[in-house]
């Protein structure tokens, strides 16, 4: 393959730079490197550096890079944060064993597209708010203010029955749909590439990015919707078992849709290659479990006389649902015990890492610990097939929506269920918002204690790949916080209608299935001859905006597709 750093007619790709190493030794050296995000890793050989020569390499700029070279006795280790499309040099010799890396050609500003996009969005928001304010002022000035007109309007009001148009969307809680819309549109954006930015893609293993929030947030708001829908169904239905059967029916449909979507990415149509777990499967199972628990134990009325005026009034949302919490905590405890106590062949008990280069490559066959072992044991080859990790190299198959991760996401869903109970049980906005903020603080503090407020060294690191306990508590913390803000702005003060996200929140499953089926197809996307952050970000934003337009069209037609 031709090296673009040595060919003027070729262009570097996204997150690539040139690195020239001048070896002034009279013998060959070996260049090693590994990403800074690779925890306790050993260097991976990158090139042989011939004596008295200049070797030019193409390197990745996604993460800061640890670099060192070895001879029979010489060793130099340095860390450098390379920038996109820059050209860098490094001289190694007996005189300068550990010289500094220098810049040969200045890099481009890879974050400029993000900044420009943010400023454009901010400007559009200001213009829209200004136009809305001007229209409101003009309407007030043009309205008739004479007594005769006032009496005429009063008489007309008394003699005419006003017609109020009620639609399916107008009877919904707008902050719920806005939250759901934020989650689904953000999911569409990151699933299509997120402009190829690291923070808009999932973490290599431990840590947290924007992309890691979208699925748990969708699960969280699904839990909140469970509270609202099941309370309504219990008021009009005499049989809890019929409600549970409807929940089972919905879960089965979601699983079937998930398998259909998985088959799109299967190279052949044989069952041998079909992935069984998936996003919709995870949502279906967690939905059915939480909805069933709520249907069995939830009271049909929002008021409970024994707690309304008692000493535990302030804790009604918790005390009134102690049975549900016991079941959820039992599931969480079971998940934790399996994670840390299940023996995994040839692996340390309680291992939570990715394998591969992790911890100097000592646990290459231990990817995902107990969770990965269970998925491979139960599903065999029917799991997530990508085994090339951008930081840790080749790892074993591990499904991010596998059995153990599905158990873990149940806690996120039930956190949403509890948020819904706060929404229904308390009438004053302050009482709701304070409780959501308290839950946000508690879950955030507990998550921080579990991970020691550090990316790698905690007892339970924050990991989306593992859906670790600290991860589900962290995303729940942000979910409580975001919903408290949305409820205050959208429903209580009505400073914001929730647009454009509220429209997407009306048909989230439709948008998710649609964007998966049309991925890479025109007019949603197209093949780029020379991808850059500018072009990829523009295309990904267009894909998201187009699905937002489709969601708005469904809203205008009063179409809400539910399963």
Active site residues: 202
Q: How many whole angstroms separate alpha carbon 364 and alpha carbon 371?
A: 15
- Where does 117-242 show beta strands of DSSP type E? none
**CA-closest candidate to residue 518, choices 542, 488, 487:** 542
The CA distances from residue 249 to 204, 232, 296, in Å, are 36, 18, 17
**CA-closest candidate to residue 420, choices 439, 400, 443:** 439
Q: Which residues of 178-204 are buried (b: 16+ CB within 10 A; e: fewer)?
A: bbbbbbbbbbbbbbbbbbbbbebbbbb
Strand 102-105 vs strand 87-92: parallel, antiparallel, or unpaired?
Answer: antiparallel
Q: How many whole angstroms separate alpha carbon 550 and alpha carbon 556?
A: 10
**CA-closest candidate to residue 526, choices 534, 535, 516:** 535
DSSP secondary structure of 204-236: SSBS--THHHHHHHHHHHHHHHHHHHHHHHHHH
DSSP secondary structure of 18-41: EEEEEE-SSS-EEEEEEETTSTTP
Do 455 and 461 touch, CB atoms closer than 8 A? yes
Residue with tokens 């709520």: 294
Q: How many whole angstroms separate alpha carbon 336 and alpha carbon 405?
A: 11
**Burial of 49: CB neighbours in 10 Å, binned 0-12, 13-18, 19+:** buried
Q: How many whole angstroms separate alpha carbon 24 and alpha carbon 98?
A: 13
């Amino acid at each position: 393959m031709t090296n673009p750093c040595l060919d003027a007619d070729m262009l570097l790709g996204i997150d690539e730079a040139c690195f020239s190493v001048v070896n002034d030794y009279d013998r060959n050296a070996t260049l090693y490197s590994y990403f800074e995000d690779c925890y306790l890793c050993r260097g991976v050989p990158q090139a042989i550096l011939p004596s008295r020569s200049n070797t030019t390499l193409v390197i990745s700029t996604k993460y800061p890079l640890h670099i060192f070279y070895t001879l029979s006795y010489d060793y130099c280790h340095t860390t450098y944060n390379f920038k996109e499309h820059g050209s860098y040099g490094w001289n190694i010799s007996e005189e300068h064993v550990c010289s500094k890396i220098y810049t040969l050609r200045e890099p481009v500003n890879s974050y400029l597209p993000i900044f420009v996009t943010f400023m454009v969005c901010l400007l559009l928001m200001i213009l829209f708010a200004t136009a809305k304010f001007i229209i409101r002022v003009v309407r007030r000035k043009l309205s008739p203010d004479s007594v005769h007109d006032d009496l005429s309007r009063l008489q007309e009001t008394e003699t005419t029955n006003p017609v109020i148009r009620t639609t399916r969307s107008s009877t919904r809680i707008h902050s719920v749909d806005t939250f759901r819309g934020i989650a689904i549109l953000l999911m569409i954006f990151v699933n299509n590439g997120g402009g190829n930015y690291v923070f808009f893609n999932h973490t290599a293993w431990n840590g947290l990015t924007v992309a890691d929030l979208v699925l748990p947030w969708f699960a969280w708001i699904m839990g909140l919707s469970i509270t609202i829908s099941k309370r309504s169904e219990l008021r009009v239905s005499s049989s809890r078992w019929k409600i549970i059967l409807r929940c089972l029916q919905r879960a089965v449909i979601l699983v079937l849709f998930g398998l259909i979507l998985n088959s799109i990415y299967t190279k052949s149509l044989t069952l041998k290659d079909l992935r069984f777990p998936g996003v919709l499967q995870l949502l279906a199972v967690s939905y059915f479990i939480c909805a069933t628990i709520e249907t069995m134990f939830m009271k049909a009325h929002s008021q409970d006389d024994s707690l309304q005026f008692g000493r535990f009034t302030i804790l009604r949302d918790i005390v009134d649902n102690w049975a549900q919490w016991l079941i959820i905590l039992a599931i969480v405890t079971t998940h934790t015990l399996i994670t840390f106590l299940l023996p995994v062949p040839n692996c340390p008990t309680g291992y939570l890492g990715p394998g591969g280069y992790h911890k100097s490559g000592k646990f290459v066959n231990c990817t995902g610990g107990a969770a990965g072992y269970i998925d491979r044991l139960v599903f065999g080859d029917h799991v997530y097939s990508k085994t090339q990790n951008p930081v840790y190299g080749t790892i074993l198959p591990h499904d991010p929506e596998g059995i153990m991760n599905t158990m873990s996401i149940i806690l996120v869903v039930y956190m949403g269920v509890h948020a819904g109970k706060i929404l229904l049980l308390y009438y004053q906005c302050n009482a709701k918002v304070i409780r959501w903020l308290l839950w946000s603080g508690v879950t955030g503090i507990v998550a921080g204690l579990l991970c020691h407020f550090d990316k790698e060294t905690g007892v339970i690191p924050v990991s989306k790949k593992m859906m670790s306990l600290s991860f589900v508590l962290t995303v729940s913390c942000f979910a409580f916080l975001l919903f408290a803000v949305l409820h205050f702005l959208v429903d209580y003060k009505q400073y914001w209608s929730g647009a454009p996200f509220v429209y997407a929140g009306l048909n989230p499953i439709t948008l998710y299935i649609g964007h998966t089926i049309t991925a890479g197809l025109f007019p949603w996307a197209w093949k780029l001859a020379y991808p850059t952050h500018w072009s990829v970000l523009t295309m990904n934003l267009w894909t998201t905006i187009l699905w937002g337009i489709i969601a708005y069209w469904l809203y205008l037609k009063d179409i809400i597709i539910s399963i």
